[in-house]
Structures are given as C-alpha cells and as structure tokens.
Amino acid sequence: MEYKKLGATDLHLSVITYGSFAIGGTMWGGTEKSEAQDAIRASLDNGITTIDTAPFYGLGLSEEMIGETIKGRDRSKIQLLTKFGMVWDGSNNGRGDFMWNQENEGKFYPLYKYASAANVIKEAEESLKRLQTDYLDLLQLHWPDTTTPIEETMEALQRLIDQGKILAAGVSNFDAAQMLKANQYVKLAANQVPYSMLNRRIEDSVVPAAIDNNIGIIAYSPLERGLLTGKFFHGDVLAATDHRNNYFGQFDLNKVRILLDKIEPIARDKGATLGQLVLKWTTVQPGISVVLAGARTREQAISNARAADLTLTGEELDLINAAIENVYRDE
C-alpha cells in the first residue's frame, strides 16, 4: 500500500481508501451487516488505513457499522473521513436546498442540503457518537448549500478544528470557483469529487486549482459503481432497488465494453483484474491524492487493496490513455 499526504495537512492517507456508500444500503438495494463489517476488517488488515463515510449512507447505518468494527483497534492508525450537510431528520425545519424524498427501509424522508453553523456542529457530534471516536480526521461538506453563506459553514468547521474535534476540513462536489471561495474562510484539506476513465471533467479546472492551492483531491466513483470492473457485462444482476439500474444509463455501454476490451490484456499480463487496473490508473493521475473504492465483501476489499501494489510503466499508461481517447474521441 502507498500512503499520500493530504493537501497541506499532516494527514497521510492510504492511496486506496475504503468507501462506505454501498454498505449503508440506501440506494444500493440493502446491505448485509456481517459481510460489510468483514469487508472493513479485511481492508484494515490489508494496508488500507483510511475509511470514508457519511451520515447519508444508510441514514447513519454506515457510520454505526464502522464504529462497531474499528472498536478496539489503534485509532491513531486509522483515518476516519466523514461528511455533513445532507439532512433527513427534519431538524432543518424545511430550510436548505431540497434534494428528493429518500426511501430507506420502506419509509420516505425529505432530504435537504443544509449546512448552517448549528447544523455543522450538530452533525459532527452525531458522527462522533456513531463512529465511537472523539475526533474526526476529516469532516467534509457533502454538497454545496446555496441557502447558507459559505463563510458561515467554513467558520463553523474552523471552530471544530480549534476545539480538536476535527483535524481538517474539506468539501465535496464543489466546482473550482466554489472550492476557492470556501478556501478563503478555512484552509481546505481536500475536495471530494467524482473522477474516472469515463468522467474526467475535473481535469479542466478543479484539478489545476487544487494543485495551485495545495488542496487534495479525493476521487470517488473511480469504478463508476462497479461498471468498470466489467462484471455487469458477464451476467451480474442488480437488485430492483439498486440505483445503478438507472445510473449506468448515462453511459454508452457499447463504448464502455470496447474500452474494457482494449485495456483488459494489460490487466491480464499483470495477473490483475480490470477493477484493479482501473483503480491503479486513477491513483497515478495528476492531482489525485487518494481514490475511494467500495467493497461489500471481504474478497472485494482485499482485491481493492491489492490494486495499490500494481505498477504501470509509462508505455502502459500511454496505451490506457490512448484507449480512453479513442473510445471517447467524439464526446
């Protein structure tokens, strides 16, 4: 495993970071707790030291499972990254940016993007309790909230840093202008944004701005929620309530299949899976600090961790990049 310093902080994160969206179950067709906790343990036992989560993932369930699983381990050797600002419990009293009515275990909850100072403090305390810890390594605003001045949100994060409850502050899903504005009020450690072979939009402005301002980039959905593993072209079936039934529709699946066919020989020559090759490619892209990889089973977790052990030559990177460009040349 490789470890990278995050932005201007003293945090060193595992380049493959455990992403816990799927184990929360919400939007993923449910979860199996024992398997999910086995995946977390396997990640930690195979060099992954960093876990990224959010209250929204399972409406608290993901954080609770992580807290239970890491209990008794050396906390100083684990970096816990979580978020705030997606509110479903009604505590915002209808304030904030309405997102949608979120279904969870047969009930529907009105979901809002809301990041008032009071909500920052409230959610931080709730996350500390669920994760069974007295500090968070990184606390991130999950989505921009247009109803709350960014300075109010960021100044609340600075208060949490001053109190020692969080070590660093970050944002998620911010464009370059939003990121730089937030950075005026607190020194941002990172911006967590989507990035993959199929989605390289951040390369235009977010990555250059992050590099210039020493802000880390945490890349999420590098495998496009499993699509780039190739397994869905070979018979894997999704649960009816799995959001990926719709999510995959944004892509030209024929082009995705062509891309995977072109790069698969490189993975095969290395004795690696397509997923491992894709993860490794993502980790070496300019400006990328760490890459989130979800796992719902022990086997998936171990496979993700071993992606960091791969090496890619300049020639291999050129071949992969050429395959991406050839497939998406007209887009």
Catalytic residue (choose from 57, 114, 195, 220)? 57
Q: How far apart are CA 4 and CA 289, in angstroms?
A: 6
Rounded CA gap, 154 and 98, in Å? 21
157-193 as b/e: b if 16+ CB within 10 A: beebbeeebbbbbbbbbbebebbbebbebbbbbbbbb
Measuring CA to CA, which residue among 277, 290, 287 is closest to residue 324?
Answer: 277
Q: What is the distance of C-alpha 62 from the center of its chain?
A: 13
Clarify whether 18 is annotated catalytic.
Answer: no
Task: Report which of 15, 12, 7, 50 is spatially closest to residue 189, judged by C-alpha positions.
Answer: 7
* DSSP-H helix ranges across the chain: 33-45, 61-70, 117-130, 150-162, 176-182, 206-212, 244-247, 253-269, 274-283, 298-307, 314-327
Pick the closest to residue 29 from 227, 226, 245, 234 (CA basis): 245
Catalytic residues: 57
